Chains A and B, each alone.
Chain A
Amino acid sequence: MNKKLKTGIAVVVITGAMAMLIGSGLKDNTGSYLTIKEALAVQQTSAGKYIQMEGYLKEGSSLWDADTVTLKFTLTDEQKDIEVTYNGVKPDNFDSGYPIIVEGKFDADSRFTAESLKVKCPSKYEAE
């Protein structure tokens, strides 16, 4: 067997191993990006599945419990609303009217708990 062929086989094996690593990584760590409407539709059936949603804070809906460091609020996209619980502190600009991205899961009793709560930074680049 010549060296070129052997080198080729080595490259294929290594590339294949990396592809498998990527594949298994994706299998374990993907969720769905859903509109609030879509999320509500699967509220009962997708407990424990990873879901990402984007929307706005419904005005006056945020309830902050300092003792337990828990934030409850309603996320809205002007069509549908959804209640979100987040065990953590309010990020900056939370109630500035900027878009909010939540990532988390429906728990067993169909309530959405966010593991991460991010406010889109009203960044250096124009919003429209």
Chain B
Amino acid sequence: MADIGYISLVISFILSIYAIAGQLAGHRLNNRNLVKSARGAVMAAAILSTTASLALVYLLVTSDFSIKYVYDYTSTDLPLFYKFAALWAGNGGSLLLWLWVLTVFAALVTYADKIKELTTYVSSILMGNAVFFLFILAFVTNPFEKLPLSPAEGAGMNPMLQNFGMVIHPVTTYLGYVGFAVPFAFAMAALIIKKSDDRWIKLTRKWTILAWMFLTLGNLYGAQWAYVELGWGGYWAWDPVENASFIPWLTGSAFLHSVMIQERKNMLKIWNVSLITITYLLTLFGTFLVRSGILTSVHAFGNSSLGTFFLVFTGIVFVGSFWLIFDRLNMLREAREFESYISKESSFLLNNLILVGIAFATFFGTIYPLIGEAFTGTRPTVSIPYFNAVNAPLGMLMILLMGICPLIAWRKSSGKSLRDNFLIPVAGSLIFAAAAFALGLREVYALAAFTTVAFVIVSTLMEFVKGTAVRMKMTGENPVTALVRLMVRNRRRYGGYIIHLGIIMLIIGIIGSQAFDRFVEKTVSPDESIRIEDYTVTYRYLSQRSDGENDVIYAVLDAEKNGKSLDTLKPEKVFYPTHPNPSTEVAIRGSLSEDLYVILAGWEKDGRATLKILVNPLIAWMWIGGYVMVFGTIFALWPGRGAEVGPKYVRGS
């Protein structure tokens, strides 16, 4: 089975090179048969990558420890679920997953053949990326490497990876990363054949949005995984590895918005091509950061040779794509300009500047240690407050813009329409601010942030209300029918607003948990209580149980909120047979208003236990917001009538 897998990779490597050479040569020589056979090679490479992936899954599931990868990441007692998920537990396997997604995407795009003159180049560019991954898999980190002897038992999976997040986070992140390869390839192909129209944008819009959605989910599940599994009470620490997937999300978000300007106004062509190129490069660069171990991260990554390969490949893609963009600059130049500063277009431009600004600030903070070391010899470190100090104000500005944008018209807004549109959201948010102040909210930043959020909510909901009212007037439908039809017939627009509302929920969760989180750390004797906020947590006793192969020590705690008794909480330490140290399983009592989060940090011989207790307000809204965003994305993408783009808004058309 291992041989089948490895040979599939090697043949796939050769076929991928042929797929590129054949398509390009066939295209040049006008030889249809050659092109056809080369496209067959794309399909064959996808099938062989699938075979290789399935072979590794088979080896993992059947626990064939003669394979180093299987030995390193699994053991016989591991639940089947995690044996399967071990496919992406290590370098070789996760790159194989990446390759698999990439080749399947390439085959889909090649055979869909949507824009005939582009397909050859799109397919070649995607296969060029596949060649890189195949090279790595076949010659650098072969996941099918055999051990000289077959051990009876594997080393086991790291306990921290045994969480539902492990199943979702890597896959969604990769789908996001690889998804951006498709619009990138189309953008490059359009430049190669000198087409400056926006067909590539329209055609890849679904890819872009899906990639964005998966990357959103990837980041969010990563955060949630860290929150429930790592047991430090937080979900984001601006670690380089986290930033690596956040930065392309930001530039991808900017791209989603700026392409609308090109669709509507034929502007920002250079910017759009550059933005998608940068986004794709950032996914590669992020992988380089993650794999090279060049930065200090709590996520230990070694294998510097792999990092070097990624850096070289990122460099090649960077030079190649930007050379192409510069060479075609004339073609992309535009005569148009913004008609007014107070217009939707200019608010989109500002949105892009801020998103790219946040991306740059995060990028710069992440690599600053390397820059500093290069210039001064000692390595500076950038601490978490930097990221918060820079990104929080920019983020709030971004959120504010999210509320302003729907209130101003395309092309130009008149003073009167502006006053009319802003009246209710501004009044609404001020009333909210006064009410929050009256209820005792005194922290300036939180008050400002929540007021901004209230403004955006009112302004976004107004869009639904106004649209429904207009529709009722025109058609005489009742409010519910009018609202549903309004949304269904303008899915792109209202899907977008739903996503915005999801982001607002996410932001509410972030503000709440950053501005109002509280914690205590204390060692307590049995029946001693700890008070935190409205909670009283009483430690009763320590106990032990078995959970399959694992031994679990847990504390039994009675929690009360304002004197009202809640469930018993049982934070744990789990001892895995394959792992020398126990790992923390926190106890969380969650509600929409706050999470009570309890960590059993340790215990003494005399029965005392050390507890760390956190209260994280509003954090549940982060995860709810994520689901709302997914719903909005699917709503916007659902095919059929109502999903098309709005009209062009250019003078004279």
Q: Which of A66, A119, A126 contacts B604 (CB 8 A)?
A: A66
A99–B612 Cα distance when bound, in Å, is 23
Interchain pairs with CB closer than 8 A, number: 163
A22 to B299, CA, bound (A): 26
Assess whether A52 is in contact with B365, with CB atoms less than 8 Å apart: no
What is the distance, in angstroms, from B388's C-beta to the closest C-beta of chain A?
9
| Given A88-B521, A92-B584, A98-B300, also A33-B90 (CB < 8 A) | no
**What are the interface flags for B64-100 relative to A under an 8 Å C-beta threshold, 1 for contact and 0 otherwise?**
0000000011000000000000001111001000000
- Enumerate chain B residues within 8 angstroms of A3, measured Cβ to Cβ: 337-338
Report the stretch among B16-24, B179-187, B378-386, B453-461 that lies at the interface.
B378-386
Measured between beta carbons, the chain A residues less than 8 angstroms from B386 are 25-26, 28-30
The answer to whether A125 and B300 have CB atoms under 8 Å apart is: yes
Within 8 A of B (CB), among A88-128: 88-96, 98-99, 101, 103, 118-128
B157-172, CB < 8 A from A: 158, 160-161
Candidates B158, B383, B390; contact of A122 at CB < 8 Å: B158
B500 contacts A by Cβ under 8 Å? no
B-chain residues with CB within 8 Å of residue A33 when the two chains form the complex: 296, 369, 378-381
Q: Nearest-CB distance from A109 to chain B (Å)?
A: 23
B114 within 8 A of A: no
Q: Which of A43-58 contact B (CB under 8 A)?
A: 50, 52, 54
What number of B residues sit within 8 Å (CB to CB) of A? Answer: 68
Check B89–A124 contact: CB distance below 8 A. yes
CB distance B338 to A7 under 8 Å?
yes
With both chains docked as a complex, state the minimum distance between the C-beta of A93 and any C-beta of chain B, in angstroms. Answer: 5
Chain B interface, >50% SS class: mixed
0/1 interface trace, chain B 346-362, chain A, CB 8 Å (1 if under)? 10011001100100110
| Beta-carbon contacts under 8 Å, B270-306 to A | 290-291, 296-303
| Interface pair A30/B610, CB less than 8 Å apart | no
> CA of A120 to CA of B158 in the docked complex: distance in angstroms?
13
Chain A hits for B251, CB < 8 A: none
Contact status of A121 and B364, CB under 8 A, knowing A28-B386, A50-B383: no
> If the complex has contacts A32-B378, A121-B160, are A127 and B582 also in contact, measured as CB distance less than 8 A?
no
Q: Say if the beta carbon of B342 comes within 8 Å of chain A.
A: no
Q: Are A67 and B523 in contact (CB-based, < 8 A)?
A: yes
Which residues of chain A are near B110, meaning CB under 8 Å?
A: none
With contacts A3-B337, A64-B602, A119-B298 taken as known, whether A11 is within 8 angstroms of B353 at the C-beta atoms is yes
The 9 closest A-B pairs by CB, nearest first: A89-B601, A29-B386, A120-B300, A33-B379, A66-B523, A25-B390, A18-B357, A52-B381, A25-B389
B interface residues with partner A (beta carbon < 8 Å): 72-73, 88-91, 94, 158, 160-161, 230-232, 290-291, 296-303, 337-338, 341, 346, 349-350, 353-354, 357, 360-361, 364-365, 368-369, 372, 378-387, 389-390, 393-394, 521-523, 580-584, 599, 601-602, 604, 608, 610, 612
Footprint of B on A, CB under 8 Å? Answer: 3-4, 6-7, 10-11, 14-15, 18, 21-22, 24-26, 28-34, 38, 50, 52, 54, 64, 66-67, 69, 88-96, 98-99, 101, 103, 118-128
